[in-house]
Structure 1
Amino acid sequence: MRNGETPRVMVFLRNIAITLLKPQGHKNLARTTRNLRNHPGQILEMIGFSSR
């Protein structure tokens, strides 16, 4: 995770997640990301895809 382009890619993905979560009113990003990690179907619904 600390070599090559990996850190840059991880920052990019984190910024995308923040960009998607803030407009939806999520204030505590750490809690929200933990919750979404446990319920990946919610991520798909959040970006406009059906999880079924």
Structure 2
Amino acid sequence: MGHHGGRRHAGQGIKNGRLKPRVSRVLPLAAAAEAHRLPGDRQTIGKVLLSTAG
């Protein structure tokens, strides 16, 4: 399968709902420094996303 095959498999799992990424926080782009700090400080369980919306 190799490296790229694993990504393809994960993408299919997300599309069909079998894999659900855990999102801990969504922060505005202006809070990028905080978003970078949170995982290092072990303040999250899951991904920290930056939003460019509103």
TM-score of the pair, normalised by structure 1: 0.31
More strand by share: 2
Structure number with larger C-alpha Rg: 2
**Higher relative contact order structure (alpha carbons within 8 Å, sequence separation ≥ 6):** 2
More helix by share: 1
